[in-house]
């Protein structure tokens, strides 16, 4: 029985999520025992001409060329996976959507901006059908492995819809608000095992908002610690600006 043919592709991103996969370590040997990686620019130069059983796509879609390219990848893929924040929710690239695109082009490229046409940043699912999502910036490897196992078993993977705070409490962390810091944990999807907070950092909301965030409870937290709502909204938009496209 042949191994599933797996490919990795990148669009507008830092490629850090693919590096996470490449740096799995000894676990990578076990992964390669059950799949055949046929295209992965980060680690190999070979190209594959046929169909892909599974395609992982990192990065957001920011121009018409990317739109056409991701559509072609979708056509060649039995299963397509959005890999990392830029692919799943648009990521930091979505901040561009707050500004006039022509002004953004002039700011970045000067008078040559017309040679670099752009569109509003989109997450991959806003352009093509996505079968699985691996959230995070960068991705959390245990979750990546869980998603890969789900794909190979032909079963769905459900991203947790409770907030990061739940995992944070289970891990015995001191609340960042009690330490005088702001944190997106109360409204951000779990699934990362509160990875950042475990290592002394705050949650930046890179996994995206929960479907029904407890905004009233979050406002109470902000009120308790005298934190302006506008300040937190700006922090939320750092990763979640593309969500507005889903609501139109």
Residue 222 or 120, more confident: 120
Largest CA distance in the chain: 61
Structure tokens at 181: 């810091």
pLDDT tens for each residue of 187-218: 999 999 999 999 999 999 999 999 888 888 88
Res. 1 pLDDT band, cuts 50 70 90: low
| C-alpha to C-alpha distance for 104 and 63, rounded to whole angstroms | 13
Residue 115 or 247, more confident: 115
Residue 88 pLDDT more than 70?
Answer: yes
Question: In this structure, are residues 14 and 61 in contact, taking their beta carbons and an 8 Å threshold?
Answer: no
- What is the residue-averaged pLDDT of the chain? 93
Convert 82-127 into a string of H (helix), E (strand) and C (coil).
EECHHHHCCHHHHHHHHCCHHHHHHHHHHHHHHHCCCCCCECHHHC
CA angle at residue 10 from 138 to 133, to 5 degrees?
Answer: 55
Q: What is the pLDDT of residue 247?
A: 55
Distances 29 to 34, 38, 219, 235 between C-alpha atoms, Å = 9, 15, 46, 38
Question: In this structure, are residues 101 and 122 in contact, taking their beta carbons and an 8 Å threshold?
Answer: no
CB atoms closer than 10 angstroms to residue 218: 19
pTM confidence score? 0.93
pLDDT tens for each residue of 24-69: 877 777 788 889 999 999 999 999 999 999 999 999 999 999 999 9
């Amino acid at each position: 029985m042949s191994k599933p043919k797996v490919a990795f592709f990148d669009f507008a991103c830092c490629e850090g999520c693919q590096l996470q996969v490449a740096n799995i370590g000894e676990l990578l040997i076990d992964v390669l025992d059950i799949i055949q990686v046929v295209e992965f620019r980060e680690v190999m130069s070979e190209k594959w001409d046929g169909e892909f059983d599974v395609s992982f796509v990192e990065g957001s879609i920011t121009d018409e060329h990317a739109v056409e390219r991701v559509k072609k990848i979708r056509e060649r893929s039995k299963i397509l996976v959005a890999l990392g924040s830029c692919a799943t929710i648009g990521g930091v690239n979505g901040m561009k959507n707050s500004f006039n695109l022509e002004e953004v082009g002039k700011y970045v490229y000067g008078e040559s901006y017309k040679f670099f046409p752009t569109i509003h940043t989109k997450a991959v699912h806003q352009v093509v059908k996505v079968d699985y999502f691996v959230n995070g910036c960068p991705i959390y490897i245990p979750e990546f492995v869980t998603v890969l196992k789900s794909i190979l078993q032909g079963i769905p993977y459900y991203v947790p819809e409770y907030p990061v705070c739940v995992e944070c409490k289970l891990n015995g962390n001191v609340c960042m608000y009690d330490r005088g810091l702001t944190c997106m944990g109360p409204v951000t999807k779990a699934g990362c095992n509160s990875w950042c907070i475990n290592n002394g950092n705050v949650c930046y909301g890179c996994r995206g908002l929960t479907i029904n965030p407890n905004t009233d409870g979050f406002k109470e937290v902000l009120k308790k610690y005298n934190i302006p709502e506008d300040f937190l909204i700006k922090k939320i938009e750092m990763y979640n600006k593309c969500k507005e496209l889903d609501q139109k």
